[in-house]
Amino acid sequence: MKIFSTHHRAVGFGYLAISAVAVGVGVLLSLAMRAHLAWPDWPLPLHGPILPEEYLALVTMHGTLMLFFVLTVAPQSGFGNLILPAQIGARRMAFPRINAASMWLTALALLVLLAAFFVPGGGPIGGWTAYPPLSESALAGPGQGAGMDCWLASIAIFGIASTMSAVNTLTTIVKLPCEGMTWQRLPLTVWGWFTAALLSVIAFSVLLAALLLLFCDRHLHSSFFLPSGDVINGVLLQHGGNGSPLLWLHLFWFFGHPEVYIAILPGMGLTSMVIANFARRRVFAYKLMIATTLLIGLLGILVWGHHMFVAGLNPFAGTVFSISSLAIALPASAKVLSWLATLWRSRPRMTTAMLFALGFVSLFITGGLSGPILAQPILDEYLHNTFFVVAHFHLIMAMAGVFGLFCATYYWFPLLFGRMLSERLGKVHFWGTLLGAYATFLPMHLTGLAGEPRHYARLNGLAGPGTTLLEATQPLQVHITVAAIFLALAQIPFLLNLLRAWRSSERAAPNPWVATTLEWAPESEELAVVYREPCVYSESGEEFLAQWKSEAAINSEAE
C-alpha cells in the first residue's frame, strides 16, 4: 500500500500504529514511575536516579500519551476507520483525503509531543491538565519553557486533527449507510462512534481556544489566566491585567470530561455487540441502549465542574455539578443491566474476544461505582487528587478502554487479516491482564483513602507527620508496583500471538464468530442491502439471521 494512501484501511492502520507507539512509550513511563514510588532511590538504568522534575515529566507525558494518543485515537479513529464503512455498508469514508490528512497530523502531533523530552528543560511538569499559573511561565519550573511549548503545539495539532476526523466520521454515518440501514438498525458500535464524534466536534474546539489563550499568556504577555501581582520564583509577572486560573479550569474541563466519554463510548458499543454475538442473543433493550449512548454523551457535557469541587468555585455550583454527575450514573447503569440481561443464562461461547468483553463489563462496574462517591462534593473534599481518583479513572477508562481495544483486536482480527489469533495464548493474555489490572489498581483505592496525593515524586525522606502518614502506604506501593510489572509482562502472550498469526498460513473462515453485523458479509461487487437489525439469533442460538441476508435467501437456503 502506498504511504499516503487515502484508503480507510490504510488510515485506520496508521492510527493504530500511532497508538501502538504511544502505548509502548506510555507503559514504559508508567513502569519507571511505579518503580520510583516503590523504590525511590533505585537508579533508572542508563540514566541514574529519577529527579522530581523528571518524575513529574513522566507523569505528565504518561497521561498525555495514554489519554490522547491511545484512548482517543485507537477506539475511535483506529478501529472506526477500519470497521465503520463495512458495518454500515459503505465502500469508503466520506472524505478520504481529509481522513488521511488527519492521520498524518496526529502522527506529527505525537512526534512534537515526544520531542518535549529532548528540548532544553525537559518535559512539562504540570500534569496532563496543565493548570496555570504553573503552565504560564518558564519560571515556574523546569520543563515549563520549551517542554510546555511542545506540549501546547502537540495538543493543538491533535485537536485540529481530531476534529477533522470526527467530521469525517459523522458525515459517513449520516450520509453513507447502505439501503435498509436505518438509524435503529445501526450497530451499537456505530452509535458509539457517532456519539463520540459529536462530543469530539464540540469539545476539542473549546480546548483549542484554551490552548490559544494560554499561548497568548505565555508569549504575548496577555493575562487571561494570570492574576495581577503573581510572583513566581521571585519575579513579579507583569502582564497587564488580571486573569483567573479558574478560567482555564473551566475551559479545560469542559473539554476534559467529554474527552473521557469519547474514550469509552466506542468500547461500550462494542461490548454490547460482542456479548450479544457470543451469547447468540439479541441485545437486551436495543433502543434503550441507543438512548443511553446519546444520553451519556449529552450529560457528559454537563458535568465538568465535578473536577473543580475544591478548586475555589462557589459551593452552590458544587451542588449543581454533583447532581448532574450522579445523574450520569443512571444511563451507565442501564447499560450494565443490559449487558447482564443479554448474557443471562445464555451459556455463551467463551472466545477470547468474549472474555475481554466480559472483562470490560467487570472493570466498568468496579471502576464506575467509585464514580458516585467522587461525585459527592463532601466526599470529594477528602478524595480529590488522591490515588482514589487515580484508581477510579484507571479502572474505568484505562483498563476498561484497553479491554475494549483488545476485544476489538481479537474479534476483528480474522476480518482484517484473514487469520485467527490463537485462543490459548489469548486466554493466557486475558487472565494475566485481568488479574494484573485488579491487582494494580484495587490497592490504589486504599492508598488514596489513606491520604496519598497525586503527583508526589517521593513519599518518604522528610521529617514530620506527613511522611509518617505517607510512609504507612509503602507496603501497598511495593505491591502495586509489582502488580504493574506483572500487568506489563502479561502483554507478552499478546505480542507472541500477533507474531504467530503473522507467520502462520492458516486462513480463517469467513465468519468464524457467526456474527450478524454487516462487516462480516461476504465480499461482493453489489451494493450492500440490510434487511433487519443486528444480533437476530434463534432461541436455541443455533440459527442466526445476518443483517445482509434477505428472507428469500434464507428461505431458499432452508430448503
Partner 1 sequence: MPITLTPPEIDRRHRTGEGDGGGRKPPTDKRTGGNGEGDNWSDRPQGRRGPRERLAQARVGLFFALGGDLMFFVALVSVFFVTKSSGHFDPYGRYIYEWLPTAIPKILWINTAVLLLSSFTAELARRSMFREHDAMEEWIGFGRPLSRRAGIWLSATLLLGTLFLAGQWTAWDQLAAQHVFFRSNPSSHFFYLITVTHAVHLLLGLGGLMVALALLRASRSMATRQVLVDATVWYWHVMGVLWLFLFALLEYGQ
Partner 2 sequence: MLSAPTAERFWHLPVDAARHGPAMDAHLLLNLWIALGLIALAHLILLCGLAWRRVKAPGLKPDPSVSIQQGPEGPFSLPVSGSNGESPQLRSLLLLEILPLAVLTILFAGLGARSEQLWAAQRYTGANPAAMQVEVTGAQFVWTFRYPGADAAFGETKPMLIAPAAGNSLGIDFTDPHAADDIVTSQLVLPAGREVDLTLRSLDVIHGFAVPEMRLKQNAVPGQTSHIHFTPETPGEYAILCTQVCGTGHYRMQAVMRVLPADEFDEWLRMRELRR
Which positions touch partner 1 (CB under 8 A)?
Answer: 94-95, 98, 163-164, 166-168, 170-171, 174-176, 179, 201-206, 208-210, 212-213, 216, 220-224, 227-229, 239-244, 247, 251, 254, 527
Residue list 341-360, contact with partner 2 (CB under 8 A): 341-348, 358
| Separation of alpha carbons 32 and 58, rounded Å | 8
227 near partner 2, rule: CB under 8 A = yes
Which of partner 1, partner 2, none does residue 509 bind to, with CB < 5 to 8 Å depending on kind?
none
Check residue 224 and report its DSSP letter: S
Is residue 317 a contact point for partner 2 (CB under 8 A)?
Answer: no
Report if residue 392 touches partner 2, rule: CB under 8 A.
no
The number of residues in the chain equals 559
Judged by CB under 8 A, the chain residues 17 through 56 that form the site for partner 2 are 51-53, 56
Least separation in angstroms between residue 475's CB and partner 1 is 46
CB 202 within 8 A of CB 258: yes
Under rule CB under 8 A, residue 416 binds partner 2? no
Cα-based angle 41, 55, 441 (whole degrees, multiple of 5): 90
The piece of 172-180, 260-268, 281-289, 419-427 that touches partner 2 (CB under 8 A) is: 281-289
**Residue 26 contacts which entry, partner 2, partner 1, none (Cβ below 5-8 A, type-dependent):** none
Q: What are phi and psi of 99, to 5 degrees?
A: -60, -50
Binds 41: which of partner 1, partner 2, none (CB < 5-8 Å by kind) = none
Task: Kindly report the backbone phi and psi dihedral angles of residue 98, in degrees, each rounded to the nearest multiple of 5, phi listed first.
Answer: -65, -35
Q: Which of 44, 212, 330, 499 binds partner 2 (CB under 8 A)?
A: 330
Q: Are strands 43-44 and 536-537 parallel, antiparallel or unpaired?
A: unpaired
Q: Could you tell me if 283 and 339 are in contact, meaning their C-beta atoms sit under 8 angstroms apart? A: no
Taking the least distance from each CB to partner 2, the nearer of 96 and 451 is: 451
| C-beta of residue 541 within 8 angstroms of C-beta of residue 346 | yes
CA distance 420 to 261: 31
Indicate the residue among 84 and 268 with the shorter CB distance to partner 2.
Answer: 268
CB 251 → partner 1: shortest distance, Å? 6
Q: How far is the CB of 287 from partner 2 (least distance, A)?
A: 10
Nearer to partner 2 among residue 163 and residue 516 (C-beta):
516
DSSP 440: H
In the list 362, 431, 512, 514, the residue contacting partner 2 (rule: CB under 8 A) is: 362
Strand partners, 44: 48
Nearer Cβ to partner 1, position 244 or 324?
Answer: 244
323 is a contact residue toward partner 2 (CB under 8 A): yes
Nearer to partner 1, 175 or 347 (CB): 175
Q: DSSP letter at 450?
A: T
Q: Which residue has the cell 445476518?
A: 546
Nearer to partner 2, 469 or 499 (CB): 469
Q: Is 232 in the site for partner 2 (CB under 8 A)?
A: yes
Task: Examine residue 122 and tell whether it contacts partner 2 (CB under 8 A).
Answer: no
Given the complex with partner 2, which of 330 and 492 has the nearer CB atom? 330
Min. distance of Cβ 30 from partner 2 in angstroms? Answer: 17
Annotate 336-398 with three-state secondary structure.
Answer: HHHHHHHHCCCCCCCCHHHHHHHHHHHHHHHHHHCHHHHCCHHHHHHHCCEHHHHHHHHHHHH
What count of other Cβ atoms lies within 10 Å of the Cβ of residue 504?
A: 12
Q: How far is the CB of 102 from partner 1 (least distance, A)?
A: 12
Contact 104, 32 (CB under 8 A): no
Q: Which residue lies nearer to partner 1 by CB, 84 or 483?
A: 84
Options 459, 483, 484, 487; binder of partner 2; rule CB under 8 A: 459
CA dihedral angle for residue 458, residue 20, residue 94, residue 208, rounded to 10 degrees:
20
Contact between residue 15 and residue 103 where contact means Cβ atoms under 8 Å apart: yes
Q: Are 275 and 534 in contact (CB under 8 A)?
A: no
Of these partners, partner 1, partner 2, none, which one is at the site of residue 149 (CB under 5 to 8 Å by kind)? none
Q: Using the rule CB under 8 A, which residue among 26, 126, 266, 401 binds partner 2?
A: 126
Q: Does 426 bind partner 2 (CB under 8 A)?
A: no
Q: Which three three-digit cell numbers place residue 250? A: 473551566
Candidates 133, 159, 192, 305: give the one binding partner 2 (CB under 8 A). Answer: 133
Q: Pick from 170, 126, 73: which is nearest to 405 by CA?
A: 73
H or E, element range at 545: strand 544-545
